[in-house]
Chain A
């Protein structure tokens, strides 16, 4: 299995632009998570899906952030408009359940200038 695939690996954008991060989970995993990692706040859960349905989005910082999972093999995290404080590494992870742990993608490093 290719693991969890995220794209792009790096993204540099100007403040005010729309940014879309992409994730392909492992086939058969019915949970998908989006995390954000910063030096100040560590790893924070933004949102997670079960069977393509958003279950908890309480970690989404504000209305500028949105996430979708149109099918079992694809999810997006969109920031519109982007701000410098959104600069972070964004991870996608998938899982079959708590017992097996979560498999993370390699992350997207977002820099908003």
Chain B
């Protein structure tokens, strides 16, 4: 079975500070992809960052970066210089060979002015 676990239901961070969201997963496959999606109050699902499992280098997109630990099956998201617009639900997701995305339950992030 493929599972994705986000152990932090809610988090908060001061504006301009750095925050890390945790995600662990379980899969028996070797060829998979991991994603972080953002869902602001508008409910639109927005792709933040992606990681290919066979790549050692951690992905980075502007203020967003990941810490991918394949052996530990861990995939955390770091947001630097947090902005008010980062307030949203964040979902970790695993893409299997079958093309299905399995999502975690989400972490609600609040950026405090």
Say if the beta carbon of B30 comes within 8 Å of chain A. no
| A101 and B45 in contact, given A45-B100, A56-B100 (Cβ under 8 angstroms) | no
Contact residues, B83-100 vs A (CB, 8 A): 91, 95-96, 98-100
Given A42-B105, A43-B91, A98-B33, CB of A31 within 8 Å of CB of B99: yes
Give the shortest distance, in Å, between A67 (CB) and chain B (any CB): 15
Q: Are A101 and B100 in contact (CB under 8 A)?
A: no
Shortest Cβ gap from B51 to chain A (Å): 10
- Given the known A-B contacts A99-B33, A101-B35, are A107 and B43 also in contact in the complex, defined by CB atoms under 8 Å? yes
The 8 A CB mask of A91-113 against B (1 = contact, 0 = none) is 10101011111111011010000
A98 touches B95 (CB 8 A): yes
A104:B45 contact, CB within 8 angstroms: yes
A 1-57 contacts with B by CB, 8 A: 31, 33, 42-43, 45, 48, 50, 55-56
Count of residues in A whose CB is under 8 Å from the partner chain: 24
Residue numbers of B with Cβ under 8 A of A are 32-33, 35, 37, 42-47, 50, 52, 91, 95-96, 98-106
30 contacts between A and B (CB under 8 A): A31-B99, A33-B101, A42-B103, A42-B104, A42-B106, A43-B103, A45-B101, A48-B100, A55-B99, A89-B43, A91-B45, A97-B99, A98-B96, A98-B99, A99-B50, A99-B52, A100-B50, A101-B33, A101-B35, A101-B50, A101-B95, A103-B47, A104-B37, A104-B44, A104-B45, A104-B46, A106-B43, A106-B44, A107-B43, A109-B43
Apart from A99-B50, A101-B50, what are 15 other A-B pairs with CB-CB below 8 Å?
Answer: A31-B99, A33-B101, A42-B104, A42-B105, A42-B106, A45-B100, A50-B99, A95-B99, A97-B99, A100-B50, A104-B37, A104-B46, A106-B42, A106-B44, A109-B43
In the A-B complex, the 3 residue pairs with the smallest Cβ-Cβ separation, listed nearest first, are A104-B45, A43-B103, A98-B95
